[in-house]
């Protein structure tokens, strides 16, 4: 509940986004970046997953198959453990403590990398077959956050709520149509799968590297019996 004097309010249908920096990022950033770029050069096609081709450009974006966390890559197991523990805590916060982090199990249904070069982007989309998704920013390349303009190669999230009968004023400004979060290397961003999002066009000279995942979160069998 939210209170102001005698006025009471409750948040309904929240769309929470979580952010956390990986403490071991500097230990693994270079070995992970090199491993992913080596894999990118070995790809037989730019979009190996062959998924949502109409939402992706013909050049400027490289996407792996969706089994990255199972690959023998230095640091990838450490990163997936960090993501798993962060997601469990996010679920706990999203449920205001009604679900405890230790009472759930995370199943990564998909995991992959994107390497973006000049002209790359990913049109607006959402993910199916999972409850939570995330992006880990390994190397943002020439990204720069800009409050007044679309960031170069940034991530954009779109409001799932209509803006009050299409009328917009100061009263419903909290339902802003989109959100461009400030990003940095080593940042993990976790969001619910229902949120429409996109990867904005990138025009940098450096390669931009991110790791993404889809996850299901299940109650442990002991919790289900209690």
Nearest to 201 by CA among 125, 135, 119: 119
User: How long a stretch of residues is the chain?
Assistant: 226
pLDDT at 224: 46
Q: Whole-prediction pTM value?
A: 0.91
Fold of 20-157+178-225: Jelly Rolls (2.60.120)
Mean pLDDT by 10 residues, the chain (226 residues): 70 88 98 97 95 93 97 96 98 94 98 97 95 98 86 94 73 84 97 96 95 97 53
pLDDT at 168: 78
- Give the integer Cα–Cα distance in Å for 105 and 204: 38
Sign of the Cα pseudo-torsion (104, 105, 110, 116, in order): positive
Nearest to 219 by CA among 69, 62, 107: 107
pLDDT at 9: 77
């Amino acid at each position: 509940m939210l209170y102001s004097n005698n006025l009471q309010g409750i948040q309904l249908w929240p769309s929470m986004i979580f952010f956390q920096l990986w403490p071991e990022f500097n230990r693994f950033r270079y070995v992970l970046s090199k491993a992913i770029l080596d894999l990118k050069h070995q790809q037989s096609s730019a979009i190996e997953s062959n998924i949502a081709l109409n939402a992706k450009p013909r050049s400027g974006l490289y996407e792996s198959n969706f089994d990255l966390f199972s690959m023998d890559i230095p640091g990838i197991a450490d990163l997936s453990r960090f993501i798993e523990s962060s997601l469990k805590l996010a679920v706990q916060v999203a449920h205001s403590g009604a679900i405890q982090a230790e009472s759930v199990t995370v199943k990564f249904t998909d995991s992959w990398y994107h390497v973006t070069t000049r002209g790359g982007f990913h049109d607006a989309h959402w993910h199916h077959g999972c409850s939570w998704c995330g992006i880990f920013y390994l190397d943002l390349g020439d990204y720069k956050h800009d409050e007044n303009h679309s960031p170069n190669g940034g991530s954009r999230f779109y409001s799932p709520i209509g803006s009050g009968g299409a009328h917009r004023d100061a009263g419903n400004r909290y339902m802003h149509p989109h959100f461009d979060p400030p990003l940095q290397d080593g940042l993990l961003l976790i969001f619910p799968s229902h949120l429409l999002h996109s990867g904005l066009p990138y025009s940098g000279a450096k390669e931009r590297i991110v790791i993404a995942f889809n996850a299901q979160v299940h109650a442990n069998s002991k919790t289900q019996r209690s």
